[in-house]
Amino acid sequence: MLPANPLQHLLLQELQCPLVMTSGNLSGKPPAISNEQALADLQGIADGFLIHNRDIVQRMDDSVVRESGEMLRRSRGYVPDALALPPGFKNVPPVLCLGADLKNTFSLVRGEQAVLSQHLGDLSDDGIQMQWREALRLMQNIYDFTPQYVVHDAHPGYVSSQWAREMNLPTQTVLHHHAHAAACLAEHLWPLDGGDVIALTLDGIGMGENGALWGGECLRVNYRECQHLGGLPAVALPGGDLAAKQPWRNLLAQCLRFVPEWQNYSETASVQQQNWSVLARAIERGINAPLASSCGRLFDAVAAALGCAPATLSYEGEAACALEALAAPCHRVTHPVTMPLVDNQLDLATFWQQWLNWQAPVNQRAWAFHDALAQGFAALMREQATMRGITTLVFSGGVIHNRLLRARLAHYLADFTLLFPQSLPAGDGGLSLGQGVIVAGALVGRGSPERIKRAAFGHHCRMRRERLIRPTYSSPQVG
């Protein structure tokens, strides 16, 4: 940590060694803001308490920034600074954007500016829901902000989507991965009428077109339109949400789909130690095993195959972090592993056959996976950009925090203009800004804010207005 107040400066002067700081809260819970709450909640994990008689008024997690300047979590020290909207966004009526349910932030968009909230966390927790409401009230008071529209993620089951429906305002849904791409465009001040880019959005999961679950997508994007071009093939998530917590489930799903003789490989030991046959039948019958083109779950599967992930994860992204760390000592590895393109999808059957049959140290195999994945996505982006005369490529989604994958993508696409998230998180922490610029882009030029506001009264007017401002989403292109 770097010292952010006088007490921390004094501590560092006395200790003369680095300190690691984390927020005063249990995992998944909001930070304690009173001495009494801290003593009650944290006595099981803290060895001692340094308390103060100055109360905390507003919860604010610490920001997390890499030494390169890449923002992982935007909070203390950055919030509530206003961000300028890109050129072309003018006279935007007040729009409240609710983000997603994980790593939640909300955004207030008005005029030519947007204000992102601090990192709030997982909205499934009652305490964080209370913190969310307190933060929204405070931000609305600070900026005298009364929304005319509310924007939420396309996932109908999200807590934030339910809140949007309860606000008695015109609502607009935005596809999760369109918002990811738009947030990166807005960070780089890409003009409203700047034209199309090709976007690569990689994460665990998000709602796509027609209820599809996405997580490894190549898109043609501008603020008003989003067209799906290809990406990873959809694979079952055995056990639904449990697949995000137990990597071996994803290895089983990948093997059942792409590796018929999977039981002959030692890499599948983590699966064969489990009661996998029941899950295999569930996958075959489509019982609690939704299909998703998730890049995050592919990382989990490879980590399980290399044995660098526990059977049950203790935090989100643990397997992917372990896999990146395993590959880190390698600077460059010559390998036979590829993910060729077939009908605009990365061919994972070829990948698994080559990778499982390649004998090499585990760190080299981890590096080869990153490299093959980057090479496959780079080929897809290059092909789609070249046929459309597009020279700018955008990258977003939580998987883009992976430094090795970033570096390999930049290596293979060095002749394009590349936009990576830097001052905003690549993951869901920046999503609310993306939602805001998408809807603002649809509103700009549609009439004065007064006319838009008048049209929002009543159910039928609201539905007309929603159709008027809805972004354009195109069907996937195959072949």
Listed residue (104, 99, 100) closest to 61, CA to CA: 104
Give pLDDT, residue 458. 27
Is 48 part of a structural domain of the chain? yes
Examine the domain organization and report whether 167 and 50 are in the same domain.
no
CATH number, domain with residue 13: 3.90.870.40
What six digits make up the tokens of 237?
Answer: 């998530």
Looking from the CA of 56 toward its CB, the CA atoms found within 13 Å total 17
Give pLDDT, residue 446. 62
Is 344 part of a structural domain of the chain? yes
What six digits make up the tokens of 394?
Answer: 């955008």
Give pLDDT, residue 445. 65
CA distance 286 to 357: 30
Is 404 part of a structural domain of the chain? yes
Examine the domain organization and report whether 277 and 401 are in the same domain.
yes
Confirm whether pTM is higher than 0.85. yes
Is 465 part of a structural domain of the chain? no
Exposed e or buried b per residue across 355-374, where buried means at least 16 C-beta atoms within 10 angstroms of its C-beta: bbeeebeebbbbbbbbbbbb
Is 65 part of a structural domain of the chain? no
Examine the domain organization and report whether 160 and 307 are in the same domain.
no
What six digits make up the tokens of 263?
Answer: 């039981």
**Full 3-state SS string of 414-437:** CCCEEECCCCCCCCHHHHHHHHHH
Give the residue ranges of the chain where pLDDT is below 70.
445-470, 474-479
Examine the domain organization and report whether 17 and 152 are in the same domain.
no
Name the domain count of the chain: 3
Examine the domain organization and report whether 123 and 272 are in the same domain.
no
Cβ(401)–Cβ(184) under 8 Å? Answer: no
Q: pLDDT tens for residues 413-436? A: 999 999 999 999 999 999 999 999
Is 61 part of a structural domain of the chain? no
Examine the domain organization and report whether 263 and 177 are in the same domain.
no
Examine the domain organization and report whether 270 and 349 are in the same domain.
yes
CA distance 265 to 376: 24
What six digits make up the tokens of 52?
Answer: 């103060």
CATH number, domain with residue 325: 3.30.420.40
Is 209 part of a structural domain of the chain? no
Examine the domain organization and report whether 352 and 437 are in the same domain.
no
Give pLDDT, residue 461. 28
CA distance 412 to 381: 10
Cβ(397)–Cβ(341) under 8 Å? Answer: no
Cβ(118)–Cβ(105) under 8 Å? Answer: yes
Q: 428: how many CB neighbours lie within 10 A of its CB?
A: 26
Give pLDDT, residue 351. 99
Cβ(203)–Cβ(175) under 8 Å? Answer: no
DSSP bridge pairs for 152: 173
Give pLDDT, residue 26. 85
Angle subtended at Cα 325 by Cα 319 and Cα 329, rounded to the nearest 5 degrees: 150
Examine the domain organization and report whether 323 and 404 are in the same domain.
yes
Examine the domain organization and report whether 25 and 81 are in the same domain.
no
What six digits make up the tokens of 53?
Answer: 């008689």
CA distance 251 to 273: 13
**Stated length of the chain:** 479
Residue 57 one-letter amino acid = V
Angle subtended at Cα 44 by Cα 38 and Cα 45, rounded to the nearest 5 degrees: 80
CA distances from 132 to 13, 128, 135, 343, 462 (A): 36, 6, 5, 43, 26
Give pLDDT, residue 153. 98
Sign of CA dihedral 255, 258, 264, 266: negative
Is 367 part of a structural domain of the chain? yes
Sign of CA dihedral 162, 395, 341, 302: negative
Q: Which residue has the tokens 């529209």?
A: 149
Q: pLDDT tens for residues 52-77? A: 888 888 888 889 999 999 999 999 99
For residue 363, give the 3-state DSSP assignment. helix
Examine the domain organization and report whether 260 and 404 are in the same domain.
yes
CATH number, domain with residue 117: 3.30.420.360
List CB contacts of 44: < 8 A, sequence separation 6 or more.
none
Q: 281: domain range?
A: 235-419
List CB contacts of 136: < 8 A, sequence separation 6 or more.
106, 117
Exposed e or buried b per residue across 241-267, where buried means at least 16 C-beta atoms within 10 angstroms of its C-beta: eebbbbbbbbbbbbbbbbbeebeebeb
Give pLDDT, residue 475. 55
Examine the domain organization and report whether 140 and 288 are in the same domain.
no
CA distance 381 to 422: 21
Angle subtended at Cα 129 by Cα 45 and Cα 41, rounded to the nearest 5 degrees: 20
Sign of CA dihedral 211, 167, 132, 111: positive
Element (H, E) at 198: strand 197-207
Phi/psi for 150 (5° steps) reads: -130, 135
For residue 173, give the 3-state DSSP assignment. strand
CA distance 439 to 174: 8
